[in-house]
Amino acid sequence: MIFKHFLTVLVLSCLLSSLSTAADSIVIKHEPPAAPTQVYVSVYIIDILKIEGAEQAFTGDLTLLLSWRDPRLAHDHDQAQILPLQQVWNPQILIANSRNTTISLPETVEVFADGTVNYRQRLTGTFTSHFDLHRFPNDQQTLIVEFVARGYRTNEVHLLHDDSWTGRAERLTISDWAVGDVSLIEAPYSIPSLDITLPGIRLELPVQRLVGYYAGTILSSATIIVCMAWLVFWIAPASINPRISVSVTSMLTLIAHRFVIKGELPNLPYLTTMDYFLLGSTLMVLLGLVEVVIIHHVGSRGIEAKALSLNHFFRWSYPLPFIALLAFVLLR
């Protein structure tokens, strides 16, 4: 009888211990260790693979490091303990502007003796970012990745930047952009429609497009075509057929040039600096044709001296608007 009573007490004790352990586990999983819990965030950019201006997105490869302290996980071991992420409390980081992101590392955390928890993950994918391309191709943009602690309020979790490990690789895949330094900015994420503000931190990476390719291909080709249209004023006004032929050929060449470069220009609902340049170049060629017709009309009325005077005036005034157009493109 005594043995049976002892066995019953032992079973109940084990059951209560198990329930207590389960309850502690649930608390550790779902409740922050402090109010607020400070989570330090570091981001290292491994590579930027592609920037798509018209798509308002970029493809990147980065490593995320989160660190926080949870005294409930303190232990007496000399080495850090490796635990599954789902078994401990974590800030449940979400990338708000992620289009499609994949992870490469196991979902685990390192727990040190004092309760410090480190979480590392490698993220590869496409991120949306607002680009203002009005100054294309001489534009500067800022690549943004927004990290949000979902399910918590700003009084429960603070995301703080840790610059000790934040940075980027010296060499990146993209070759047509100059890349600046990485910065982390503490920026709570607001959802106006729900009147909710979540803890957040934003990564910013400034980039500037290198205009060498566009200057050496699109700008230079259009400039050569406009100069070809300018040559009509160096042909005698009486030679109307060659003058008209050069002007029309210049126009057709410029139109063909625009078809060739169409795939290299972003399709946008507004005009960029490059669009203004190409439109201005087209108007310059058309202007040359109109001036040739005016000179011929004056000469056909028997006023040869005035026709020669107009031709001389157009010869030296014609390049001026185009020079102003080039200055607008390069200095804007």
Give the pLDDT score at 29: 55
pLDDT more than 90, % of the chain? 76
Mean pLDDT on 12-30: 42
Higher pLDDT, 186 or 21: 186
Give the pLDDT score at 9: 40
Flag the least confident range among 18-27, 137-146, 311-320.
Answer: 18-27
**Phi, psi values for residue 48, rounded to 5°:** -115, 115
3-state SS assignment for residue 168: strand
Going from N- to C-terminal start, the domains of the chain cover 21-209, 213-331
Kindly tell me if the per-residue pLDDT of 20 is higher than 80: no
User: What contacts 135, CB < 8 A, 6 or more positions away?
Assistant: 272, 273, 332
Of 92, 196, 96, which Cα lies nearest the Cα of 145?
96
For the chain, how many helices (H) and strands (E)? Answer: 7, 15
CATH homologous superfamily of 21-209 equals Neurotransmitter-gated ion-channel ligand-binding domain (2.70.170.10)
CA distances from 25 to 32, 90, 157, 283 (A): 12, 13, 20, 74
Of 164, 190, 186, 168, which Cα lies nearest the Cα of 177?
168
Give the pLDDT score at 31: 80
Give the pLDDT score at 11: 38
Kindly tell me if the per-residue pLDDT of 18 is higher than 90: no
Going by pLDDT thresholds of 50, 70 and 90, the confidence category of residue 17 is very low
CA distances from 212 to 159, 280, 322 (A): 40, 21, 20
Give the pLDDT score at 238: 87
Kindly tell me if the per-residue pLDDT of 27 is higher than 50: no
Q: Structure pTM?
A: 0.83
Distance CA 134, CA 139 (A): 8
Each residue's pLDDT tens digit, 216-227: 999 999 999 999
Mean pLDDT on 69-84: 93
Give the pLDDT score at 24: 42
Going by pLDDT thresholds of 50, 70 and 90, the confidence category of residue 249 is very high
Each residue's pLDDT tens digit, 118-153: 999 999 999 999 999 999 999 999 999 999 999 899
Give the pLDDT score at 23: 35
Distance CA 95, CA 59 (A): 14
Kindly tell me if the per-residue pLDDT of 293 is higher than 50: yes
Kindly tell me if the per-residue pLDDT of 269 is higher than 60: yes
Kindly tell me if the per-residue pLDDT of 25 is higher than 60: no
Mean pLDDT on 261-266: 89
CB 189 within 8 A of CB 148: yes
Each residue's pLDDT tens digit, 95-121: 999 999 999 999 999 999 999 999 999
Higher pLDDT, 78 or 38: 38
Each residue's pLDDT tens digit, 32-60: 887 789 999 999 999 999 999 989 999 99
CATH annotation of 213-331? 1.20.58.390
Q: Which residues of 132-162 are buried (b: 16+ CB within 10 A; e: fewer)?
A: ebeebbbbebebbbbbbbeebeeebbbbebb
Average pLDDT of the residues of the chain: 89
CB 139 within 8 A of CB 177: no
Kindly tell me if the per-residue pLDDT of 1 is higher than 60: no
- The encoded tokens of residue 22 equal 């389960």
- The encoded tokens of residue 275 equal 């669009």
Mean pLDDT on 178-196: 92
Give the pLDDT score at 8: 46
Give the pLDDT score at 3: 44
Q: Which residues of 189-227 are buried (b: 16+ CB within 10 A; e: fewer)?
A: beeeeeeeebbbbbbbbebebebeebeeebbebbbebbe
